[in-house]
Amino acid sequence: MNKNAERVRWVAVCALLCVPAAGFATGAAADSAPSAQKIMDDVYRQDTSHDITMKANFQVYDNQGHNAKKEFVLRRLGLPGDSKTEVVFTGPKEIRGVALLSITQPGVPERQYVYTPATQRVRDVVPRDRSASFIGTDFTYEDIGERVLSDYTYRTLIENEVIDGHKCTKVEATPVDASRSQYKVVYLWVAKDVPVIVFAEMYDAQGQKVRVMHATDLKHEGGVWGARHTEMRTVADGTRTVLTIDSVKFNTKPDLKLFTPQGLADAGK
């Protein structure tokens, strides 16, 4: 696989798609950049399955501590970099059947489509909507979708910071094209003892910290390390959403017709 065509699904980064990170020594910028790139290449290279099916839920907390549970099924068809990913909500009743389809192909901007049962219509997710909240959670459409790994440049900042008992390498990820992301910079803490990004901070175009991600309950499933619980927190609002992975299955050969805009209505049935 051409590593420049590999893509990152940020939710899957939190939940599933992580592999061993290479250890390295800090040094001058000329030395640290290749090391940071190698870490990121390694982190996202593990997933070689034909398809993945996950049952999961979002537990959404407002700034008063009240919460609501939103259950969904995530299916991905194809390899990272040339794939179709579908998120279909199964509960509660008011959002049951709402579905998001993300289509990625090498050299082509990601396309996203949303189906809403109430209107029985499929609409495109336009660029200005990608920074909007995804179905009332602290994840945005951009967070849920995929992006090309080479759309970012990477730089090592700090070695051996400890988070939840894991020694981590702190990596700075900066978009190559600022117009294609809501984030000016993302800081990632990559664990050394287990192949998982355990913490991340996202900063907007004004340099303000807008979201914080924290991954816990690390598991090894089907040869893939990942976190069963991932919290995304919106700093300004004081809200948070906890993503919990209930089950993961690989290579189940789902119906190909479901991975089209026209098939989104049937995906939730």
| pLDDT at residue 202 is higher than 70 | yes
Distance CA 68, CA 5 (A): 37
Output 36 or 199, whichever has higher pLDDT.
199
What residue ranges in 50-196 does DSSP mark as E strands?
51-61, 67-79, 82-91, 99-105, 108-116, 121-124, 146-148, 152-163, 166-175, 183-191
Average pLDDT, the chain: 83
Tell me what the mean pLDDT of segment 220-240 comes to.
89
Q: What is the mean pLDDT of residues 86-101?
A: 96
Please give the pLDDT value at position 46. Answer: 66
Q: Which of 36-45, 101-110, 120-129, 239-248 has the highest mean pLDDT?
A: 239-248
Of 68-72, 159-163, 218-222, minimum mean pLDDT range: 218-222
pLDDT of residue 57: 97
User: Pick from 203, 199, 197, 195: which is nearest to 213 by CA?
Assistant: 199
**Is it true that the peptide bond before 92 is cis, omega within 30 degrees of 0?**
yes
Percent of the chain exceeding pLDDT 70 equals 83
Identify which has the larger pLDDT, 193 or 31: 193
| Residue 133 in this model has a pLDDT that exceeds 90 | yes
pTM here?
0.83
Q: Are 79 and 68 in contact (CB under 8 A)?
A: no
Helix (H) or strand (E) holding 36: helix 29-43
Structure tokens at 80: 């990272």
In this model, does residue 215 exceed pLDDT 80?
yes
Task: Give the mean model confidence (pLDDT) for residues 106-132.
Answer: 88
Q: What's domain 3-267's superfamily in CATH?
A: Lipoprotein localisation LolA/LolB/LppX (2.50.20.10)
Amino acid in position 120: Q
What local confidence, expressed as pLDDT, does residue 265 receive?
84
> What local confidence, expressed as pLDDT, does residue 180 receive?
82
Please give the pLDDT value at position 10. 40
For 4-33, the pLDDT digits (tens) are 434 444 434 443 333 222 222 223 333 433
